């Protein structure tokens, strides 16, 4: 499915979805990188050895859930924009997603935006909690987006034109 449509299959996503137990412990990176490609900045950037050793640059990255604290550094370093952080513990009703953003315009904090799934289809609405653009995130901005908890494994982008 990925090769044909560019969109990951439900099986692919299931394979990288953290356990409910791990999700209940706080933020974790979700690496949606499903093909063997010569790339490893996620692995070299992680300060917590939370991505398993990549012996070959073509190896697919694999998260080590107990080492990841959801810092998001890998999100900004991935040239494929394939890494997201999900925090299912953000609030009773909402999860927080940290997602890469390299487009213009950049949404402002507190904007209400339309959310999109991996295929670019509408999911619902989200609230921009923070746009991170600091020393560790100089190449790619990181949007912190609060979404209804049931959308946390669906939402992977926002619709341009739904914010200023």
The footprint of ligand SF4 (CB under 6 A) covers 29, 31, 33, 39-42, 45-46, 48, 50-51, 61, 68-74, 78-80, 82-83, 85
Q: Which helix (H) or strand (E) holds 98?
A: strand 94-101
* In the complex, minimum distance from the CB of residue 49 to ligand SF4, in angstroms, rounded to a whole number: 8
98 backbone dihedrals φ, ψ, rounded to 5°: -100, 120
**Of 79 and 120, which CB lies nearer to ligand SF4 in the complex structure?**
79
* In the complex, minimum distance from the CB of residue 122 to ligand SF4, in angstroms, rounded to a whole number: 26
Helices (H), the chain: 2-5, 10-16, 20-23, 41-45, 73-77
Q: Which long-range contacts (CB under 8 A, 24 or more apart) does 36-40 make?
A: 36/60, 37/80, 39/79, 39/80
* In the complex, minimum distance from the CB of residue 162 to ligand SF4, in angstroms, rounded to a whole number: 27
* In the complex, minimum distance from the CB of residue 36 to ligand SF4, in angstroms, rounded to a whole number: 9
**Of 61 and 107, which CB lies nearer to ligand SF4 in the complex structure?**
61
């Amino acid at each position: 499915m990925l090769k044909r449509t560019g969109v990951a299959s439900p099986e692919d996503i299931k394979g990288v979805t953290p356990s409910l137990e791990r999700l209940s412990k706080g933020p974790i990176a979700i690496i949606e990188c499903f093909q063997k490609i010569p790339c490893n900045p996620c692995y070299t950037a992680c300060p917590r050895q939370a991505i398993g050793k990549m012996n070959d640059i073509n190896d697919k990255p694999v998260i080590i859930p107990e080492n990841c604290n959801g810092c998001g550094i890998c999100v900004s370093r991935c040239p494929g924009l394939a890494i997201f952080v999900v925090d299912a513990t953000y609030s009773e009703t909402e999860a927080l997603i940290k997602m890469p953003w390299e487009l213009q315009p950049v949404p402002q904090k507190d904007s209400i935006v339309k959310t999109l799934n991996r295929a670019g289809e509408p999911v619902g609405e989200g609230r921009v909690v923070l746009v991170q653009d600091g020393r560790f995130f100089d190449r790619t901005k990181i949007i912190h987006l609060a979404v209804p908890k049931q959308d946390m494994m669906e939402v992977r982008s926002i619709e341009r034109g739904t914010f200023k």
